[in-house]
Amino acid sequence: MSGGSRGYDVWADTRGVHVLVATACNPLAGSCGLPGIELHLNDGTGWQLVQRVEATDSRPKLSGLPGRAIITYEDECGISILEGGTTTCTPLDTFVSHVFGVDSQSAFALSTELLRDGDLIELVGTSWVSTGLRVSSPGALWADATHVHVGALNTVHVYERAGGTTVELPNVPAGQYTGMWSFGANDVWLGNLVGQVLHYDGATWDVFTASTGGHAIAQMWGSAGEVFFRTAGREFGRVTSSGPETLLTDVTVEGLWGLSPTEVFITLSDGTFSDFKCGEYFMLWFDGAAFHQF
């Protein structure tokens, strides 16, 4: 995906790579068309249109129920589930800032009020219900089959799905946490508002400078011990046992997801291509060593 079809976000599962694109001028469709948003899928054989999403003035984000449905959020609907060519919209009175799909049946989201307090909500059947966990200034979300981690202001809350109880990780350094990934209770990664990445090994916290410009860590994704991040500024990078490494600068990365450390996908805009015939918006695949346009 490249050019005038602006990529809002990307998400991947075993079916392939999904992307939300603005279609005011969409090379994927073969021609320029009416303004709108479309969901496309690349299953390894090329891009194909999956579903047209209701036109909106917002910039929706993308998640999903792995192997089953796509979830869009941060738009007028609140949270939408796209499955089988139909869309189920769940309007909410609050702003949905994060959605994390765990498996084909379960997902969690952060429903945040204007005053910055928010609730952790869970998909139960076709409805979103409160888990009872209310957090001050939630900014990051990660979940698996047993636990949900919520990064917030100066705290990390761990919600245990089986019993519905919550504990806080001890001795969390002060900060507003805006990105998160976890490989287990003793391997938690956090990103904060000032561009730092933190690692918790179950006992101590290590702090690394990931953004040389001090930009907030906007999102994190990880696999096989490697964590990738994008900032709210102009950086994309990864963190390994050796520390942070910047992979791209002077671009605006809007979406990040992957399948493995050699299958990481991003949507971005690069102002140096502002005069390019298809525009400045691209989708890239990082294979662990190099970037490829697709």
Give me the torsion for CA of 83, 85, 90, 94, rounded to 10°. Answer: 90
pTM of the model: 0.91
In this structure, are residues 179 and 151 in contact, taking their beta carbons and an 8 Å threshold?
yes
> What's the pLDDT at 57?
64
Check residue 188 and give its pLDDT: 97
What pLDDT is attached to residue 277?
Answer: 56
One-character DSSP codes across 182-209: EEETTEEEEEETTSEEEEE-SS-EEEEE
> Distances from the Cα of 137 to the Cαs of 113, 127, 290, in angstroms?
9, 24, 37
Domains annotated for the chain, with CATH where assigned, are 7-293 (2.130.10.10)
Q: Which of 10-24, 138-152, 176-190, 198-212 has the lowest mean pLDDT?
A: 10-24
Average pLDDT over residues 67-81: 91
Can you tell me the mean pLDDT for 14-32?
A: 72
Condensed to tens digits (0 to 9), the pLDDT of residues 201-260 reads 999 999 999 998 899 999 999 999 999 999 997 899 999 878 899 999 988 999 999 999
Report d(CA 123, CA 102) in Å as an integer.
10
Tens digit of pLDDT for each residue in 95-121? 899 999 999 999 999 998 765 789 999
Q: Are 274 and 21 in contact (CB under 8 A)?
A: no
